[in-house]
Structures are given as structure tokens and as C-alpha cells.
Amino acid sequence: MKMQNLPTADNSKDRSSRRKEALISLEGRSEPPCVGGYGLGGVLNWACRLALMMTVCALTAGHSAAAANDLDKLMPVRGFCIAAPRPKHLERFIAFINDELAPRQVNTLILRVDYNYQYQSHPELAENGALSREDVKKLVNACRTNHIRLIPHINLLGHQSWAGNTYGLLKQYPEFDETPLVKMPAKYEWPNPDGLYCKSYCPLHPKVHDIVFALVDELCDAFEADTFHAGMDEVFYIGDDKCPRCAGKDKAELFAGEVRVIHDHLAQKSRSLWIWGDRLLDGKTTGLGMWEASYNNTWRAIDLIPKDVVICDWHYERPDQTAVYFAMKGLKVVTCPYRMPQVAVTQAQDMVKFRKSSTPEMRERFQGVMQTVWSDAGGFLDRDYQGKATGKNAVNNSWNTFRAMFDEIAKLNEAKSEKEK
Ligand SMILES: [Zn+2]
């Protein structure tokens, strides 16, 4: 479950040693045969150098294009998902894109923006000190330069509160609350008599989509995005018995109905929809439980949602092979680890195996993997990335998991290329 918000490590040490290795390999390289000297010989030498450089450049470009192509075949989606940085962390986060995501050929970045944007359509919903349009343009440019698809995210339906804190939408528009009778506690504890995990909005409230779609459209425009991630995970409150609109309705149909409404709205502008997968899995039969899967009968929605919705299938403690289930239902799927390096390595191996061992119909539904980070970008850069996590988190953290998984992807790609030679 994603409620654990964890610290952790990784290493500037590792980064500097990686750079050091790169320097050593450059220093150790022997000079090309035509170096040095002036006069005619020198000119020839320079001409020779230029020709050599051009050849090297052409070869390198050809090689990297071929390598990227190979990697795309091995694993079409190589993702990273994190809360969008606050403006004060923006430059550091862009450096992270350039220094860490780009060299590993990450090609998809999901930024969980939620209310961290200065919405013009609904300024009342923007958090204090949120990202400006200019800030977002810097992110758009960094991703474009590095050939990374940038996907903004707003939690829709569920996750409208966290612990004792109600988020912008229900704070400003309490009439959208699916469970208005459930009061936010002064001190949040789980479990609690109300079964309050997070608040949801009522998907059948006649005004709710006017507001949320204005945010979605504005954000997609600012991010120049062809895809939007709507969250929709861990929805515990849905079809509440006391909701005048939803009471008595089938929860799977309510969930699927909301997916379809969002999907169809995005489709008007040729945008596609990604969501988390947990509500579409049967928590009891699978033993996956009530966070990682559904105990509230939403799981039959898997047969009711449009087939072009992409599922982000998160499993953090074990490499559960539910990607196969989504693919067999006709849905594209991306497997998402969090903080266990070995789990992520297995998930990358499984994804490659699924692609290799499937029918052509199934193969393209196995889209790839995406590292998730469940702290804000500033916290991640300060802690995990700097190797400052302590205790068990010193090993099991998002940064270590990310590196282990992308090292494994590189290895799998090399092995594939060797085999094909
Ligand atoms: Zn309702």
C-alpha cells in the first residue's frame, strides 16, 4: 500500500564513483594514430581528426538510435513516477532528469501534480506556493530534450484527503463529498470506526466534473500532454449507503462509469487515460488484500472499462504476476515497484518474459515498468538520492530500487542483443 511514506538512501557515493569510472576510461584511451604537429602535417592531422570525429559521431548516433530501438522493443515503457517538485526544488529536479533519468533512457515521467499548480480556471484550488506555468514549461522542455513523455496526474475519485487533512476539492466544494457524515478526525488513526482511509468525491454529483475537468484540461495543456493519469487507486468510499445518488448502486458499475466519463472527456482532445490497477483486482480471492486490490466489489469493473485505458499495476512487497490478468482482459499494463530492489528486478525480468512468451495479440499489452516514489520530489532528492536514509530504508528505498531495476533492464537488453548477433 502506498500509505507508507518512506525515507531513504542512495548514493552520491555511487554517482561520483560512476563518474570517476567514466573519467578513468577516457584517460586510459589510447590516442588515435594521427595526432599532434603543425604545418602541413598538422593540417593533415587536424583534417584526420575531424574526419575521425565525424565518423565517431556518425557511428555513435547510429549505435544509440539502434540501442534505443532495441530497448523500445524489449520494454516500450520505462517509467518514473513522483510527486511534482515544489518550485524551490525545480532546478534540482530538472538536474535529476538530465543526470539520472535520461542516461538510463527513462522515456515516461509521471508527475503527481494534484493541487501543486497555479490553476487559472480554479485558483481557489491551488496550494500556496504551487508551480507556475513557467515552472511547468521548464519541466516540459527538459523532458522534450531528453525524449521523455511527460504525464501529469491528479487524484480523481479517491484520495481526496490524507490522514486528518482534506484536500482542496472537498475543502472548497464539500457538497461533492461521498461521505459528508464522516467527519475528519483531530487525530487520524487506522483502523477507525468509520473505515476512513481517504475521502472520495461522489462520481454522480452533477457538478463535480465541471470542476475537475477544468483542472485536467488546464494541466494537460500546460504540460503539453497527450496522456493523463487519474490515480483512482485505493477508493474505499464508493457507492455509500447514505449517498442520495449512489446508494444501492453496483460499485463496479460506479467505478467503471467514472473511468469511462474521464476516458471519454480526454478522448475529445485525443488524450489517453492511465490509472492505477488495484480497484480492478479481487483482493479476497487473490489474497492481495484491501489496498493492493479491492475488497469493496469494484473489481468486476475490469470487464466494464474501455480497453485503451492503461493500467499501472503496483506491487511493492512481492512481484505478483497480475500483469498477465490485465493483458488477458485486453488492457495494456505497466508494472510498478516501489522500494524493494529485488522485487523490481524480478518485475523487470517478468515483463520481458511475458513479452517473449506471449501471442502477438498479448505481447504489446505488456508495456513495461515504472518506478514509483511516494515522497515529494524534494524529500526524495534530499534523502534517498543523497544516501541519507537510515535503518532498513538504507537498502530498501526508491532510489536503490530504481537503479537496480534499470541496471537489470540494461542487462536484459545486452543479453538480447548478444543473442540476436
Ligand atoms: Zn455518491
- Tell me the DSSP string of 293-344: SBSSS-GGGGGTS-TTPEEEEE-SSS---THHHHHHTT--EEEE--S-HHHH
Pick from 32-36, 65-69, 214-218: least confident: 32-36
Q: Which is more confident, 70 or 16?
A: 70
Specify whether the CB–CB gap between 104 and 80 falls below 8 A.
no
Distance 202 CA to ligand 1 centre (A): 4
Pinpoint the alpha helices (H) of 203-328: 208-223, 251-267, 283-286, 289-292, 323-328
At residue 166, the 3 state secondary structure works out as strand
**Beta carbons within 8 Å of 211's beta carbon, 6+ residues apart:** 122, 125, 169, 173, 176
Residue type, 97: I
Name the DSSP class of 34.
Answer: S
Distance 238 CA to ligand 1 centre (A): 7
Which residues are registered as beta bridge partners of 227?
Answer: 272
120 vs 239: CA distance, rounded Å: 32
CA distances from 150 to 141, 145, 274 (A): 10, 12, 12
Please report the DSSP string for 60-84 in residue order: HHHHHHHHHHHHHHH-SEEEEEEEP
Distance 379 CA to ligand 1 centre (A): 35
Residue whose C-alpha is closest to residue 159's, from 345, 3, 347, 384: 3
Pinpoint the alpha helices (H) of 131-207: 133-145, 168-172
CA angle 180, 376, 218 (to 5 degrees): 65
Name the DSSP class of 394.
Answer: G
Distance 249 CA to ligand 1 centre (A): 9
Specify whether the CB–CB gap between 277 and 255 falls below 8 A.
no
* The pLDDT value given to residue 44: 41
The set of cell numbers assigned to 340 is: 524493494
Q: Are strands 149-156 and 272-276 parallel, antiparallel or unpaired?
A: unpaired
Of all residues in the chain, the percent with pLDDT exceeding 70 is 84
Distance 362 CA to ligand 1 centre (A): 36
Distance 263 CA to ligand 1 centre (A): 19
pLDDT at 10 over 70: no
408 vs 137: CA distance, rounded Å: 32
Q: What is the mean pLDDT of residues 100-109?
A: 98
Of all residues in the chain, the percent with pLDDT exceeding 90 is 81
Out of 3.20.20.80, 3.30.70.980, 1.10.10.60, 3.30.1360.20, the CATH code matching 79-420 is 3.20.20.80
Distance 258 CA to ligand 1 centre (A): 11
pLDDT tens for residues 166-202?
A: 999 999 999 999 999 999 999 999 999 999 999 999 9
Its pTM stands at 0.86
Domain ranges for the chain, please list them: 79-420
Distance 111 CA to ligand 1 centre (A): 28
Distance 329 CA to ligand 1 centre (A): 28
406 vs 411: CA distance, rounded Å: 9
pLDDT tens for residues 122-152?
A: 999 999 999 999 999 999 999 999 999 999 9
Q: What is the mean pLDDT of residues 84-97?
A: 98
At residue 230, the 3 state secondary structure works out as strand
Distance 241 CA to ligand 1 centre (A): 9
Distance 374 CA to ligand 1 centre (A): 28
